[in-house]
Structure 1
Amino acid sequence: MDLSEYRKDYLKDGLTRANAMEDPLKQFEHWFQQAVDADYPEPNAMSLATVDTNMQPSIRTVLLKHFSAEGFVFFTNYQSRKAQDIEANPQVSILFPWITLERQVIIKGHVEKISREESEQYFKSRPHSSQLGAWVSNQSSVVLNREFLATKLDELDKEFKPGEVPLPEFWGGYRIKPESFEFWQGGPGRLHDRLYYSPAPNNSGEWSIERLSP
């Protein structure tokens, strides 16, 4: 299939140094809220890239559940493939592909586990079925068939009543501490706007902002 003629010109808002915020977290929050206001589907869906011990990259979509000055939080099985990658190499990258808004945000940083108390607080807020799902899935492992998972889910549903499902030892959250941000806004004629934020060299807590060639 030849896709060489499949293209679209980007004609929405531009991103300039003048209209960009000094703090990348505030810029992210502004864009995120605009995605929410535009009814963008799953605006908190992000592609998470990791690298294993053989330097083999992997990427998958996870859901952002909280962000603040401390970092970006997501939850997963601590025995999963992504968790094994993180254990070997805690440097990761995430991508928010807000395509219909002609935007994307790339964040690179160091990831670490959050406290069990934080994980438990979030786990208790999940629907009962999702709590059971965390127990059922030995994430990334091979299973015989879907019926095996359904049977296991049914057994756990009988064992745990709503409100009584404990947090599994093997499940919890990670926090990505940003080390750089890149905000991309599509532009006409492929002259896209790209602003790259990195920590200022004076360790002042401020950020340097550079425009990158599209």
Structure 2
Amino acid sequence: MVAHSLSMLQFKVDLNPKDLHILIWFGYILRYSTKMLKLVRWIPPICDFGLNVDGACKDNPGECGGGECLRDSQGNVHMAFSHFYGVGTNMIAELRALCDGLRLATSLGYKLSIIHSDSQILVNSICEKKLLSWLSYRWWREVVSFIRESALMSHVYRETNQQADALANFAVKDKYNKVFRGAHNLSYSCKGPMTIDKIGLLNVRLL
């Protein structure tokens, strides 16, 4: 009965030898989860401009910020920002970053063909028009109206959204709102991911 109860058990952390010895004595068979490697990279927009957005939150809730990067089909950065939002949740940070990115692109006259976010929950909420929380309604409503009129929104892996992620983390660390015009004005911590994306280097993702 003990062996049957343990047959499908999987541990997320390594057991100490003593505990493992006891479980094996009861008939437990040690299993290892297998992971697959997948090579991924940022894909530039086919036409017009692409928008990558991301939110960062230290603890949840905690200090949060957002980052956005607007690039053309050659991978050139035209506009980017890092905004600090104070105390909030990770979902509010993601949504506010998307809203601010759409506002900025629209106000400057950039035509978007694709919007990328590494938050599957956010993408589903916008595409399916399902509000996640009333606390975020004002930003959610504005984003839905923008998306309806312009670009396609798509989910991407975190490894292909490192430029926006670096900008969001920079916002939380710096605690300022900054807009960067062109790649040469980006902070040093954000120039590495930009270079990786532009030259098309592959990133490794564990599945």
Give the number of the structure with larger relative contact order, counting CA–CA contacts within 8 Å between residues 6 or more apart.
2
**Bigger share in helix:** 2
Query: Highest CA radius of gyration, 1 or 2?
Result: 2
